[in-house]
Every structure is written in structure tokens, then in C-alpha cells.
């Protein structure tokens, strides 16, 4: 039986190898105009919004909020920020993801993306913001499996991790509705967004679920941002993109250290001659 299984697996491998073209030898045909906006699109998606850590790193899901304000509405909103909020925000020059997202939706079907999901989930109530998700299917399913009992307790039914990840695009998905609406939602999304178990639990306990008996301890427990954001007007590029932003509860946070290493690796990947083709190959590789 073992020998039969071995030969079966070898046969599958040989047929797969013969039947699939080498992605490294393929070039995606793009017009000059497409290349121009797609380079900006992927700069914003991967470097400004951190999607590079999902494409080339350990981050299972990247969530991106697209704001749909007019220039006048944006100026009013900025004027309403407190001094502290103003000091801790920055404006990225040449950011055009909301417009380029519409263009990407029109041609996304041209690219055979199987390992990832890239989709718009929903708009907020006043339709001034929409939510984009970039998902590594296998990483996300593995993460859910590792904390299966926690997710099972929240959704109250059995499930297969890969099945529910593939169902993320379904706005009527019972699983994801329960995840979004549950009391434990901040904890679950912290895990899914790759902030690490200790950081996700500590953040949840400190701000959402702390009995009076431990409130003093959690309020006084030191924490800091994983990586301070730039300030003022900046242009994010391969030289100055940041690691994912989250609240860290450790001076020697292994999650922060991992992302720092991944950042250096990603910078080397971007040294390829044709960054756009490299990105498209990574998205469509088997």
C-alpha cells in the first residue's frame, strides 16, 4: 500500500510538472498605460499599505481602508483632528489607490491568482470608506486551524479552515459575520492580521475585556507601537516602507523582529530588474 501511494504521488508530480508552464519564463502583456497605473497601484497596495508582508512575508491578511472623500471633505476632516492626532499622521504623496482599485477590478480576471484573495468587502454606512482585503489563503487557514477552538467557540459550529477562508468574499458568510460581530472580534482580527498571540490577547484584555480585578495591571502594563509612522508629507518607496503597525507589549517582540527581517528580504526582492513583472509572477505562481 505504501509503495502504491508513493508511485501515485510521483505520477501526480510528473503530470503537474509537465502540464504547467514555468511562470518565471512568462511575461504578462501590459500596455504602456496599464504599466503606469499598475506600478502605482502595487506601490500603494504592497509598500504603503503593507501588503508586501502578505505577498512575501508571514502576514496572513492585510486590511486596507480606502477613503472616498472629496478634497473639501478631507480638508474639513483634517482640520478637526486634535494636535496629538495631527502629530501622529502623515500624508503619502502620489497615493492614488482608490482610483487605481477601480481599474484593477476591471482587469483582475486576466491574472490567474489562485493562492490569494484580493477583493473589496464592503463600504461603511455613509459610503465614505470601503474595505479591501489581501489574503494568503493557506496562511490564513493554517492560522485559523492553530486556534480552531477559539474560532469554533465564537462561531458556534464546526468548519473547515480552507472552506471558510475561500468564503471570505461572500458578504453573507455566516462565519465571517460572527467573527466581525463577536465580542472577541478585536482579538480574532489581531491574530488574523499577524500581530502575534501575546500582542493580540494583551490588546484585547487591556481595551475590551478586563475584569476590575486586573484593570490596574493592564492599564499600567507598558506598550508601544511596533514601528512609529513617518510624519508630514512623505513618499513611501522601497527605501522607507515600514513594518506592519500594531501595539506591541514586549521590548524584544519576536513578531517585530520577524517583520524587520522580512522587510530586508522584501527590499532585496524589489531589486529585480522588472518589479511589476516580479509582483505579478509572485501573485500568480503555483
Tell whether 161 is covered by a domain.
yes
Q: What is the pLDDT along the chain (286 residues), one digit of tens a residue?
A: 444 444 444 333 333 333 333 444 457 889 999 999 999 999 999 999 999 999 999 999 999 999 887 778 777 777 777 766 665 555 565 678 999 999 999 999 999 999 999 999 987 877 788 999 999 999 999 999 999 999 999 999 999 999 999 999 999 999 999 999 999 999 999 999 999 999 999 999 999 988 888 888 988 888 999 987 666 667 788 888 999 999 999 989 999 999 999 999 999 998 866 889 999 999 998 7
Task: Give me the pLDDT at residue 12, please.
Answer: 37
Q: Does a structural domain hold residue 130?
A: yes
- Residue 19: what pLDDT? 35
User: Residue 239 falls within a domain, yes or no?
Assistant: yes
Q: Would you list the DSSP string of 72-108? A: HHHHHHHHTS-HHHHHT-EEETT--HHHHHHHHHHHG
Range of the domain at 186: 30-284
- Polymer length of the chain: 286
Asked if the structure places residue 166 within a domain, the reply is yes
Looking at residue 4, its pLDDT comes to 46
Report pLDDT for 105.
95
Find out whether 136 and 194 touch, Cβ atoms under 8 Å: no
Separation CA 201–CA 265 (nearest Å): 28
Inter-axis angle of helices 197-207 and 212-220, nearest 10: 120
Task: Cell numbers for 136, please give them.
Answer: 494568503
Q: Is residue 17 part of a domain?
A: no
Owner of C-alpha cell 461572500: 170
At residue 87, the pLDDT reads: 57
In a domain, residue 251? The reply is yes
- Domains identified in the chain, total number: 1
Dist. CA 204–CA 286, nearest whole Å: 37
- Cα separation, 224 vs 267, whole angstroms: 25
**pTM of the predicted protein model:** 0.85
**In angstroms, how far is the first alpha carbon of the chain from the final one?**
29
For every residue of 101-134, which 3-state class applies, written as one string?
HHHHHHHHHHCCCCCEEEEEEEECCCCCEEEEEE
Per the domain annotation, does 22 fall within a domain? no
Calpha distance 219→248 (Å, rounded): 14
Q: Cell 502578505 sits at which residue?
A: 54
* Angle formed at CA 47 by CA 95 and CA 80, multiple of 5 degrees: 45
**Residue 8 within any structural domain of the chain:** no
Amino acid at each position: 500500500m505504501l509503495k502504491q501511494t508513493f508511485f501515485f504521488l510521483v505520477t501526480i508530480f510528473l503530470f503537474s510538472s509537465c502540464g504547467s508552464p514555468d511562470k518565471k519564463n512568462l511575461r504578462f502583456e501590459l500596455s504602456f498605460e496599464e504599466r503606469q497605473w499598475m506600478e502605482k497601484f502595487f506601490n500603494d497596495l504592497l509598500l504603503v499599505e503593507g501588503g508586501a508582508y502578505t505577498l512575501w512575508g508571514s502576514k496572513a491578511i492585510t486590511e486596507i481602508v480606502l477613503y472616498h472623500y472629496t478634497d473639501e471633505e478631507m480638508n474639513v476632516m483634517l482640520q478637526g483632528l486634535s494636535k496629538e492626532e495631527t502629530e501622529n499622521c502623515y500624508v503619502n504623496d502620489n497615493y492614488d489607490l482608490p482610483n487605481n482599485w477601480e481599474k484593477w477590478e476591471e482587469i483582475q480576471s486576466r491574472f490567474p491568482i489562485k493562492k490569494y484573495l484580493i477583493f473589496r468587502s464592503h463600504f461603511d454606512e455613509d459610503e465614505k470608506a470601503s474595505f479591501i482585503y489581501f489574503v494568503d489563503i493557506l496562511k490564513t487557514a493554517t492560522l485559523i486551524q492553530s486556534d480552531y477552538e477559539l474560532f469554533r467557540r465564537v462561531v458556534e459550529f464546526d468548519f473547515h479552515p480552507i472552506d471558510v477562508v475561500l468564503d471570505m468574499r461572500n458578504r453573507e458568510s455566516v462565519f465571517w459575520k460572527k467573527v466581525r460581530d463577536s465580542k472577541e472580534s478585536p482579538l480574532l482580527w489581531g491574530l488574523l492580521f499577524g500581530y502575534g498571540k501575546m500582542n493580540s490577547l494583551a490588546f484585547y484584555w487591556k481595551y475590551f475585556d478586563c475584569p476590575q480585578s486586573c484593570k490596574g495591571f493592564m492599564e499600567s502594563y507598558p506598550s508601544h507601537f511596533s514601528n512609529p509612522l513617518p510624519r508630514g508629507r512623505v513618499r513611501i518607496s522601497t527605501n522607507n516602507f515600514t513594518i506592519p503597525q500594531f501595539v506591541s507589549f514586549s521590548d524584544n517582540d519576536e513578531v517585530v523582529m520577524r517583520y524587520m527581517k522580512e522587510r530586508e528580504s522584501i527590499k532585496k526582492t524589489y531589486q529585480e530588474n522588472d518589479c511589476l513583472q516580479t509582483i505579478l509572477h509572485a501573485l500568480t505562481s503555483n
